[in-house]
Homo-oligomer: A and B are copies of this chain.
Amino acid sequence: MQKLHPIPLQRVTISDNFWEPRIRRNREVSIPAIYQLCEDTGRLAMLHKGWKPAPGQEAHFFWDSDVAKWLEAASYSLATHPDPVLGQKVEAAIELFANIQEPDGYLNSYFINIAPEYRWKNLSFFHELYCAGHLIEAGVAHFQTTGKPTLLNVVRRYADHIYEVFGPGKRVGMPGHQEIELALVKLFRTTGDSRYLELSQLFLDRRGQTTVFQDEGRNLPPTVAQWYRQFYGEGEHFNTAYCQDHLPVRQQTKAVGHAVRAMYMYSAMADVAYETGEPELSAALRRLWGNVCCRQMYVTGGIGPSRRKKGTADDFEGFTEDYDLPNLTAYAETCAAIGMIFWNHRLFHLEPDRRYMDILERELYNGAICGVSLDGTHFFYENPLQSKGDHHRQTWYSVACCPPNLARLLASLGQYIYSQAERDVYVNLYIQGDVRLDIGGQAVLLQQQTNYPWEETIRLTVQTDQSTNFTLHLRLPEWCRRAEVLINDTPVNVARAVNTNGYFRLEREWKSGDQITLTLAMPVEQIETHPAVPDNIGCVALQRGPVVYCLEQCDHTVPLHQLVLPRNAQFTTHFEPDLLHGVIVLRTIGLAATEPNPTHLLYRQDPSLTYEPCEITAIPYYAWDNRQPGAMRVWIRSGVSKE
């Protein structure tokens, strides 16, 4: 029996009003801009053997990963939108990697050109295996989308070298920043060479079982030692949890440490569990998922609230305690939200349950795309849920992981929409376009027509030259409390059609022209948080469909913190085509704390505030900071109505 698998993006088209323009801007603006920045900052130059930084220029050991992620993004884009100019740039960059590769297969331009004495010396700090992982992902993507083996051959030689150095019976090493583990599984799937799967599993199995990282921290040169201490601490306070090395992976129950590292590692664990069927790994994943999604996730899908804990090495870019979700200081790195997409996508194929796709959708429409400006030129690294008006997207970051990560996500969005296992076809996301299916040898075209996430209706049409029996699984999102399904205008008994995994299960002999109409009611919902979260108590967030909303100061005359939303507030919803590239805006009458007798006193014994009616306007969270700078809030003070 075939396992459930994603349908690759080459067989999917996207033609909607929400994602298609974003993917187009990603292609036309972001991918070229990231290439240009790779060139301008020296990242491409460093790929020339013998290159040295100019005076005052600082090269970084993670630079190769940015070029690799750009290559991966460009490859995906070429698969759906051929572009000779981009194609030439891709081939030229691949040639750089091929030319600088060492005879033994080693390939990291920083350690070839700048610091050869540190080659493989400090895996916990120097990110060589992390860069290798991204390069492997790029090689696989390039091969799968173009059919050309140029980069794949390069990364196979590199992977073989890594296998020689760190494989079974060899040096007990593992990456400080996980990434190569999931890349190696991709390489295994593409090449069939099981050594790559073996090495991936080995890297995972070694975690939490050795003192490799503590040992590497000894006798470092002073500049490195300083950074090392900052990330890992030292001595008895050495923070193994920072890179999830505190426990063997199968024993981990709470998400800890650097959030992106955690996501990439959990993704690899899901990959290995998918390939091996090992129940112990799946059980660990289920526990970790419960911890992340029910205790440590912002309503936007953001994870990893902490930039750095005061005075300690703990929690750098990472998880903290359960229910610790401060809004103003939320770190919630864009890459971590993207990591949640990678991880939940894999979990879904391991265990097809809507809960994983619900999270994936939450990230897509909120935590992830928030990371890029509407015009595709500016990026968030941190995604707070509240701002005083001083947090803005930037064109680039010296640590530039997020922009190319978003680029590869958007360029490969097609792969997240559908999944299939033989005669079971899953529609996970509602995005207008179509998918070319092969069902037992029979070509079937499934067309989606929808204006999701703004409108409630999704129309699916089957096109086939021969009637075919298969089961369509349509996700009923957890946020939806009233759904209707029609097949050729005949209502389906919804309660009976919903499977325990939260998908409508529509099995029949489908003939060409058959039409399914799905309606997902999208009232404006006031979302409340578990009371254990101190920062949201007494507050609500607004959500409509999958889209989480926020208030921006430029829509209000009263400071946002003075607004109160009555529990029984009635909202109007308008699609405004010219606002923020077209969004549904929510409006209601709330209350504003005002002073009838203005006084300059900072503190008063008598309650002097009164609450006056005041219009409240909410826009999608992902679209904030695209107009004039100002305060922003997702969580709004909630008030009991006066009625």
Contact = CB atoms under 8 A, between A and B. Distances in A.
Contacts of A84: none
Interface in A288-304: 290, 293-295, 297, 299
A609 B528 contact: yes
Nearest to A548: B603
A10 interface: no
Contact of A537 (B528, B561, B604): B561
A603 B529 contact: yes
Interface stretch (A250-258, A273-281, A462-470, A592-600): A592-600
A441 interface: no
Interface string A540-575: 010100000000000000010110100100000000
A479 B602 contact: no
Contacts of A538: 538, 564, 637
A533 interface: yes
A351 interface: no
Q: How large is the interface on A (under 10, 10 to 19, 20 to 34, 35 or more residues)?
A: 35 or more
A525 interface: yes
- Tell which of A534, A604, A608 has the most Cβ of chain B within 10 Å: A534
Contacts of A235: none
Given A531-B595, A538-B637, A605 B559 contact: no
A531 B603 contact: no
A539 to B, nearest CB: 9
Nearest to A607: B528
A602 B559 contact: no
Contacts of A529: 602-604
- Tell which of A527, A528, A599, A602 has the most Cβ of chain B within 10 Å: A602
Nearest to A561: B534
A312 to B, nearest CB: 10
A602 B297 contact: yes
A495 interface: no
A522 to B, nearest CB: 12
B479 A528 contact: no
Given A293-B602, A602-B293, A637-B537, A528 B608 contact: yes
Given A531-B594, A537-B593, A481 B605 contact: yes
A601 B530 contact: yes
A206 to B, nearest CB: 32
Contacts of A594: 531
Nearest to A529: B603
Contacts of A290: 600
Contacts of A595: 530-531
Interface string A38-80: 0000000000000000000000000000000000000000000
Contacts of A607: 526, 528, 567
A531 to B, nearest CB: 5
A481 B538 CA distance: 32
A30 B605 CA distance: 36
B600 A294 contact: yes
A569 B534 CA distance: 23
A640 interface: yes
A92 interface: no
A604 B564 CA distance: 19
A532 interface: yes
A622 B546 CA distance: 47
Contacts of A561: 534, 537
B530 A602 contact: yes
A613 to B, nearest CB: 16
Interface in A491-511: none
Interface of A: 290, 293-295, 297, 299, 479, 481, 525-534, 537-538, 541, 543, 559, 561-562, 564, 567, 593-595, 599-609, 637, 640
12 contacts: A293-B602, A295-B602, A299-B602, A528-B604, A528-B605, A528-B606, A528-B607, A529-B602, A530-B595, A530-B603, A533-B602, A537-B562
Given A295-B602, A534-B559, A541-B603, 9 more contacts: A299-B602, A528-B603, A528-B607, A530-B604, A531-B595, A532-B559, A537-B561, A537-B593, A537-B637
The 5 A-B pairs of least Cβ separation, nearest first, read A534-B561, A525-B605, A531-B593, A294-B600, A527-B603
